[in-house]
Structure formats: structure tokens, C-alpha cells
Amino acid sequence: MLLDIQLSSAHNDWPELLHAVLQAEADGYDTTWVLDHFDGSVFPNGDRAVLECCTLLGALAAATTTIGLGPLVANVANRHPAVLAAAASSAYRISGGRLRMGIGAGAAPDMPWAREHHERGIPLLPELAQRHAAVVRQIEVLRTIEPMPIIVGVNSTELATIAGTYADGVNVRLSSPHAATYLAAAREAAGNRPFEASGWAATHDAAGREKAEELRLDRLILSRLERLDA
């Protein structure tokens, strides 16, 4: 099982993030993942505007040599599909092919996570089926550019099935009581083709690590949604 790290620009600025990613590269982590949000206050103890994820990935791509890079996850509501594809292509090329493209459907308009969109006048699709269709459309556009792996972060069986049908991998929150169900749906939809199952858990979550082994994940992402100097 590959071991990754997710770092937070809701709690840390560029110097701290760069130092941590270089250390992760030296320590042998396979991939480092970054957030795609606007307002750091949507996270507990988040205290700053989040660094734009594609810009951050491009900067990390130029500063590193071996570690994989990706967003966990890029919200398809945040950018036009062609804009996100162009940004992903840029980070892929700058990194020499080290980008792993995580995408997600985003929140419903009535969910707390939608606050940062409402405050910025960014419209959100009202129907779940519409948001899922936007994920499929984004995958289709990404497929027209660089041959990067595409991973879908899921929190429903329906989206897990979409991940298995259209993407190269699925990612689940390991603390979810439905994580096994989502993984099973994605794996069934993927059939016999190459497909990666991954999950994320907080760095201090020992139960999450055990669950990753139990679910036979290909990749475990340790999420540090906190200040790195704390």
C-alpha cells in the first residue's frame, strides 16, 4: 500500500508547505495532496485564505523532483471544465508527468460547505444528478489532454459507480461508515481494468490505518489539516 500525505493551506502558507513537501519527498511519500477551497475558515482552526490549488501545484511541481502531486479534490464547481483541464495540463507538464488529478462533485447548495461559494457568487447545481454529470463531463475534458490518472473523491454509491465507470481510481473518507460500500461499488463498476482504491484519514487516526488494511486499499492518504508548526 502506497503512503501519501495531504497538507493544508488553510492553516499554513507557502514557506511551511514547501518545507513540508520537500521533507515528505525525502521521507519517501509517494504523493502529496493539496486542498481546493477558497475560505480556510470552513476547516476547524483554518485561519487564512486557501492558496489556489492549481497555482500551488505548479509551484510545488517546479520545486520538487520525484514526489507525486495532486488536488484532493478539485471541486468541479469552482472552474469551467476547460479551465481546470488547462490548469491540470500545466501542472502535469511542469512536474514532468507527476500529477494525479483528484476531482469531486462538491457540496449541495444547502450544505454548510457551500457557504464559500454563496459568498463569492459562484452558482452551484441544485440537483445531485446534475453535480454527478458535471464530474463525468470534467473527466471527459481531462481525457482530451495529458494522460494523467484521474481519481474521484466520493461520498455516495452513485458517485462511486461513476468513479469506477469513468475514472482511474476512487477515494473515500475512511471514517465514513459507508466506506466499504462505496469501494465495492467502484470496484464492481471498474471490472477487471486497472483501477486504484484509496482512502484518507487524519494522521493521528490509528483506526483509519487499520481500516485501510482491512479494505485492501492501494493507497492511504494521511491528512494533516492543521498547522505544521503546532
Give dist(CA 149, CA 168) in Å, integer.
6
Note the pLDDT of residue 101: 98
Residues 24-57: pLDDT tens digits? 999 999 999 999 999 999 999 999 999 999 999 9
Please provide the average confidence, as pLDDT, over all residues in the chain: 97
Note the pLDDT of residue 103: 98
pLDDT average, residue stretch 184-189: 98
User: CA 169 → CA 73, 100, 114, 138, 212, distances in Å?
Assistant: 13, 10, 25, 15, 15
Per the DSSP assignment, residues forming a β-bridge with 6 are 33, 223
This prediction's pTM: 0.96
Give dist(CA 186, CA 5) in Å, integer.
23
Residue corresponding to grid cell 499554513: 12
Give dist(CA 221, CA 174) in Å, integer.
10
Please say if the pLDDT value at position 96 is more than 90.
Answer: yes
pLDDT average, residue stretch 201-210: 94
pLDDT average, residue stretch 186-198: 98
pLDDT average, residue stretch 163-171: 98
Percent share of the chain, pLDDT over 90: 99
Note the pLDDT of residue 139: 98
φ, ψ of residue 116 in degrees (nearest 5): -65, -25
Residue 52: DSSP 8-state = P
Note the pLDDT of residue 49: 96
Please say if the pLDDT value at position 230 is more than 80.
Answer: no
What domains are there in the chain, each with its CATH number?
Answer: 2-224 (3.20.20.30)
